[in-house]
């Protein structure tokens, strides 16, 4: 049974079509990255999943239950880290946790949870004095209460420093090892790449790709990016490289020295040979796989991989 089934979900806010016949599934036990640029419809989807808003059309099932008719049962088994800070200024972290533990009827210990998110030192301080990152850690601790079967994390790295973001990823892994399904919305590629089994990319309310990170990379990149540092480059040479059979794109980056960035499938020696034949000196070259940023841009902005 999938942990989450979104079936032909459409949501309009007046004239604005936020989701258009969106369908996808998240398998039980997987970490699913829900990626998309601002305004793509990520929060709208999560709000329907949690029954905070009602869909215009379509169905959502969470842990085998209808999102609208069983929202109470669903919330009892789901941990949510919402987007934006939602702490109470006058309550301490301990009081926040006690409240969440009581609401879920769980046996958690506030200190253990706050230690996991690195907030034990501030347990008896009022949340009103917390930094953004501290508030985010507190909300993550609240999401973990009751060992939820499904964790929904909406932009979880917001406000976290690199250490905090790494710790958050570790917690996602630990929760997943325990058996939780994690639904992780983000527009930060690195966060998704590091923890997600599969990624769905949302654009303008439609899912434009669902695959593993590797699969997505392969699907947009017909090969590798070759970066060649040269002593000089001119338009003729650039055009000649672009018209080589294995090259899908080429562009110049920087001036002093210029670097030729080439999207190449197959042989890289043809590119180097073309440059050398023109008397262009190759000072250095390296190859890399398409970055996730390139993957994301390809799906959300244009249909072509642009060498930068
Ligand atoms: N309450 C609302 N009233 C009207 N339009 C809304 C409302 N909430 C969202 N929208 C619109 O629906 C679309 C999807 O918004 P949504 O917040 O779901 O995107 P998102 O992917 O979560 O974006 P972000 O990354 O910025 O949080 C946008 O065009 C947005 O302007």
pTM: 0.77
Q: Is the CB of 44 under 6 A from ligand 1?
A: yes
For residue 294, the model assigns a pLDDT of: 65
Q: Does residue 304 belong to any structural domain of this protein?
A: no
Last residue of a domain, one of 218, 235, 265: 218
Range of the domain at 230: 222-289
CA atoms within 13 A on the CB side of 105: 4
Distance 16 CA to ligand 1 centre (A): 9
Tens place of pLDDT per residue across the chain (308 aa): 899 999 999 999 999 999 999 999 999 999 999 998 888 999 999 999 999 999 999 999 999 999 999 999 999 999 999 887 789 999 999 999 999 999 999 999 999 999 999 999 999 999 999 998 899 999 999 999 999 999 999 988 888 888 888 888 899 999 999 999 999 998 876 678 778 999 999 988 999 889 988 787 776 655 678 889 999 999 999 999 989 988 877 888 888 889 888 888 777 888 999 999 999 999 988 877 666 666 676 666 533 333 33
Distance 277 CA to ligand 1 centre (A): 53
Residues 274 and 153 occupy one common structural domain: no
Residues 178 and 195 occupy one common structural domain: yes
Q: Does residue 298 belong to any structural domain of this protein?
A: no
Residue to mutate (ligand 1; options 13, 152, 299; most atoms within 8 A of CB): 13
Residues 181 and 276 occupy one common structural domain: no
Q: Is the CB of 33 under 6 A from ligand 1?
A: no
Count of C-beta atoms within a 10 Å radius of residue 191: 23
Give the C-alpha separation, 112 to 168, whole Å. Answer: 15
ipTM rounded to 2 decimals: 0.96
Residues 258 and 164 occupy one common structural domain: no
Q: 16: domain CATH number?
A: 3.40.50.300
Q: 279: domain CATH number?
A: 3.30.70.100
Residues 213 and 261 occupy one common structural domain: no
Q: Does residue 207 belong to any structural domain of this protein?
A: yes
Give the C-alpha separation, 187 to 36, whole Å. Answer: 6
Q: Does residue 52 belong to any structural domain of this protein?
A: yes
Phi and psi torsions of 49, nearest 5°: -55, -40
As given in the structure block, the two tokens for residue 270 are: 């043809």
Residues 201 and 233 occupy one common structural domain: no
Q: Which atom of ligand 1 is nearest to the CA of 44?
A: 18
CA atoms within 13 A on the CB side of 204: 3
Distance 17 CA to ligand 1 centre (A): 9
Last residue of a domain, one of 218, 243, 277: 218
For residue 221, the model assigns a pLDDT of: 56
Distance 273 CA to ligand 1 centre (A): 50
Last residue of a domain, one of 196, 218, 240: 218
For residue 288, the model assigns a pLDDT of: 77
Residues 94 and 23 occupy one common structural domain: yes
Per the structure, how many domains does the chain have?
2
Residues 192 and 231 occupy one common structural domain: no
Residues 282 and 140 occupy one common structural domain: no
Residues 113 and 178 occupy one common structural domain: yes
Residues 105 and 137 occupy one common structural domain: yes
Q: Which atom of ligand 1 is nearest to the CA of 53?
A: 1
């Amino acid at each position: 049974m999938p942990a989450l089934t979104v079936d032909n979900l459409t949501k309009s806010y007046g004239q604005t079509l936020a989701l258009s016949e969106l369908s996808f599934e998240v398998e039980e036990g997987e970490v699913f990255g829900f990626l998309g640029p601002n305004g793509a419809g990520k929060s709208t989807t999560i709000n329907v999943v949690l029954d905070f808003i009602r869909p215009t059309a379509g169905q959502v099932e969470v842990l085998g239950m209808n999102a609208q008719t069983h929202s109470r049962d669903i919330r009892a088994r789901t941990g949510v880290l919402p987007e934006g800070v939602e702490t109470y200024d006058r309550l301490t972290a301990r009081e926040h946790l006690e409240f969440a533990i009581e609401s879920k009827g769980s046996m958690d210990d506030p200190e253990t949870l706050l230690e996991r998110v690195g907030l034990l030192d501030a347990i008896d301080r009022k949340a009103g004095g917390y930094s953004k990152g501290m508030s985010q850690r507190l909300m993550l601790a609240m999401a973990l209460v009751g060992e939820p079967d499904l964790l929904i994390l909406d932009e979880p790295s917001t406000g976290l420093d690199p250490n905090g973001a790494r710790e958050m990823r570790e917690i996602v892994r630990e929760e997943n090892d325990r058996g939780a399904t994690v639904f992780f919305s983000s527009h930060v590629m690195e966060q998704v790449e590091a923890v997600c089994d599969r990624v769905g990319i949302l654009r303008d309310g439609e899912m434009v790709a669902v695959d593993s990170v590797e699969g997505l990379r392969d699907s947009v990149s017909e090969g590798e990016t070759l970066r060649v540092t040269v002593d000089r480059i001119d338009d003729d040479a650039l055009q000649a490289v672009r018209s080589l059979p294995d090259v899908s794109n080429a562009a110049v980056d920087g001036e002093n020295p210029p670097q030729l960035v080439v999207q190449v499938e197959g042989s890289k020696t043809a590119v180097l040979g073309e440059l050398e034949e023109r008397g262009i000196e190759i000072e250095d070259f390296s190859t890399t796989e398409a970055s996730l940023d390139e993957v994301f841009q390809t799906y959300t902005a244009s249909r072509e991989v642009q060498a930068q």
